[in-house]
Amino acid sequence: MGLLSGKATCNTHGQDSSYFLGWQEYEKNPYDEVQNPTGIIQMGLAENQLSFDLLESWLARNPDAAGFKRDGQSIFRELALFQDYHGLPAFKKALVEFMSEIRGNKVTFDTSKIVLTAGATSANETLMFCLAEPGEAFLLPTPYYPGFDRDLKWRTGVEIVPIQCTSLNGFQITETAIEEAYQLAQKRHLKVKGVLVTNPSNPLGTTMSRNELNLLVNIITEKNIHLISDEIYSGTVFSSPGFVSIMEILKDRNCENTQVWNRVHIVYSLSKDLGLPGFRVGAIYSNDDMVVAAATKMSSFGLVSSQTQYLLSALLSDKKFTQNYISENKKRLKQRHRKLVSGLEKAGISCLKSNAGLFCWVDMRHLLRSNTFEAEMELWKKIVYDVKLNISPGSSCHCTEPGWFRVCFANMSEDTLKLSMQRLKAFVDSITTTLHNQSNHQSIKNSRRRSLTKWVFRLSFDDRVTGER
């Protein structure tokens, strides 16, 4: 072991989180409708598989793009040779236009301020390297995506300090919660370099309100710190209220010529909106030229392939396709979301009202043996091993309240979702029956105890009357 680095031998990657452990159990026994119908159904993976047919249809209609041709002539050699890490201009142009389109064209983006990365994971880590030193901190509202413990901390040495949000107000960010997190960081002797939020939220499936976004701008202005807005789910908003990008807030507040303009950074990816996590396409957008320059240099460690950029530049440049895709994908997400919520309701389970994302934040507090995280883990293990559903417990998302779970709905067929809800309902019914029987048994015991007490009291009274003992 002495021959290896501390990074190679440490356990700070976060792989021991229940979020990742659930994946491991799924991989040992994955559900398959034909080959393994009693296996574990993966409901812990936020993938969008609902609109593949639209993408595949476009590919069939555009064989040149898929075959790496231009005007019928192969450009394979051109794409196979070295491309610098600034990215293909045509792709960067198509990407920023797509980002604007998702935001209703209320804001525009400059290709000179975007840095391509191998997914949002790489984008977030790169920003940590650019904005903070090892041992400095970013504030994150809870609950947050479990992967951030790996993405933001593992290699950078940056610390995370939670902004504790609760169900009392639907887990919205408050000024008090931010200030408490800031004070906690100071008590731990951590210099706070910024706040990172996901909008729409993973795992809540909700969009941030204008009040919250304005609060964040006020905070970073007052504290002289950065704000990272991870907007990877911006194209998955399927019902009101609509999505408001932090860039729109800055525009509304006329921040273009202020210092705060350079301290707000956006992370984006095509992994969720287009359902292409395997393509590894992410991006950093920053108004700070030094951040863009440094991030561009760092991007050489995680480039997007030229073939991928060429294919997607053609796809995203087809405005008729992108308009139809965005609209249809939202409709399908809304329909699938409704089916999950309906299935949960039939099982006697509610969830946080949501309007975005590929998951629901599900309330199972009433199924806990006690109001503890130990009871949450006990329930989670039953759901994974007995019910055969892999869902993510709230504790893996650093939720402060036991009994919340993230349940994904867009990475499976409708039939598989239906089966998962049947399994869950049967499990809840069994728990309800058990609790009912225990309650009846306890009532009988209490009734017998009351009868015995009355009998003893009567006997004692008779003894006093007759003088007997």
**Catalytic residue selected from 92, 113, 193, 272:** 272
The span from the CA of 453 to the CA of 451, in Å, is 5
Exposure string of 407-445, with b = 16+ CB inside 10 Å and e = fewer, is bbbbbbeeebbebbbebbbebbeeeeeeeeeeeeeeeee
The reported pLDDT for the residue numbered 431 is: 85
The reported pLDDT for the residue numbered 441 is: 55
Q: Is 272 a catalytic residue?
A: yes
Mean pLDDT of 277-285: 94
Residue 452 has pLDDT above 60, yes or no: no
Q: What is the token pair recorded at 276?
A: 């292409």
Residue 459 has pLDDT above 70, yes or no: no
**Domains of the chain in sequence order:** 6-50+332-427 (3.90.1150.10), 53-321 (3.40.640.10)
Confidence of residue 354 (pLDDT cuts 50, 70, 90): very high
**Catalytic residue selected from 225, 228, 232, 383:** 232
Residue 333 burial (C-beta neighbours within 10 Å; 0-12, 13-18, 19+): buried
pLDDT in tens, 164-197: 999 999 999 999 999 999 999 999 999 999 999 9
A 10 A CB-CB count for 62 gives 16
Whats the size of the chain, residue-wise?
469
pLDDT in tens, 6-65: 888 887 887 778 888 888 899 999 999 999 999 999 999 999 999 999 999 999 999 998
Q: What is the token pair recorded at 119?
A: 């997914």
Residue 461 has pLDDT above 50, yes or no: no
The span from the CA of 406 to the CA of 205, in Å, is 9
Look at strands 137-141 and 159-163 and give their pairing.
parallel
Q: Is 64 a catalytic residue?
A: no
The reported pLDDT for the residue numbered 50 is: 95
Look at strands 73-74 and 69-70 and give their pairing.
antiparallel
Mean pLDDT of 291-303: 93
**Catalytic residue selected from 19, 26, 31, 145:** 145
pLDDT in tens, 227-240: 999 999 999 999 99
- CA–CA distances in Å: residue 418 to residues 145, 167, 329: 26, 28, 20
SS3 for 265? strand
User: 114: which strand partners?
Assistant: 285
Average pLDDT value over all residues in the chain: 91
Residue 321 has pLDDT above 90, yes or no: yes
Q: What is the token pair recorded at 136?
A: 């400095």
Confidence of residue 67 (pLDDT cuts 50, 70, 90): confident
The reported pLDDT for the residue numbered 21 is: 87
The span from the CA of 299 to the CA of 80, in Å, is 18
Rama region for 209: left / alpha / beta (φ>0; ψ in -120 to 50; rest) = beta
Inter-axis angle of helices 306-316 and 319-346, nearest 10: 90
The span from the CA of 427 to the CA of 432, in Å, is 9
The residue behind tokens 């559900």 is 31
pLDDT cut 90: percent of the chain above it: 79
The reported pLDDT for the residue numbered 295 is: 96
Residue 401 has pLDDT above 60, yes or no: yes
The reported pLDDT for the residue numbered 465 is: 44
DSSP 8-state code for residue 209: P
Cα 201-207-210 angle, rounded to 5 deg? 125
Contact yes or no for 138/128 (Cβ under 8 A): yes
Mean pLDDT of 404-408: 97
**Catalytic residue selected from 113, 173, 228, 230:** 230
Residue 259 has pLDDT above 80, yes or no: yes
The reported pLDDT for the residue numbered 469 is: 37
Contact yes or no for 279/312 (Cβ under 8 A): yes
The span from the CA of 137 to the CA of 186, in Å, is 10
Q: What is the token pair recorded at 68?
A: 């790496």
User: Which phi and psi angles does 389 have, rounded to 5°?
Assistant: -130, 125
Residue 385 has pLDDT above 90, yes or no: yes
Residue 290 has pLDDT above 70, yes or no: yes
The reported pLDDT for the residue numbered 448 is: 58
Top mean pLDDT of 213-222, 299-308, 430-439 is at 213-222
Q: What is the token pair recorded at 140?
A: 């994150």
Q: What is the token pair recorded at 62?
A: 């555009």
Torsion sign across C-alpha atoms 117, 122, 125, 129: negative
The span from the CA of 36 to the CA of 22, in Å, is 18
Confidence of residue 466 (pLDDT cuts 50, 70, 90): very low
Mean pLDDT of 109-117: 96
Establish whether the linkage from the previous residue to 200 is cis, with ω within 30° of 0: yes
Residue 351 has pLDDT above 70, yes or no: yes
Question: Which three-class secondary structure string do you get for 344-400?
Answer: HHHCCCEECCCCCCCEEEEECHHHCCCCCHHHHHHHHHHHHHCCCEECEEHHHHCCC
Q: What is the token pair recorded at 230?
A: 């991870």
The reported pLDDT for the residue numbered 445 is: 61
Q: What is the token pair recorded at 245?
A: 């990008």
* Among the ranges given (47-51, 272-276, 316-320, 441-445), the one the predictor scored with the smallest mean pLDDT: 441-445
Confidence of residue 436 (pLDDT cuts 50, 70, 90): low
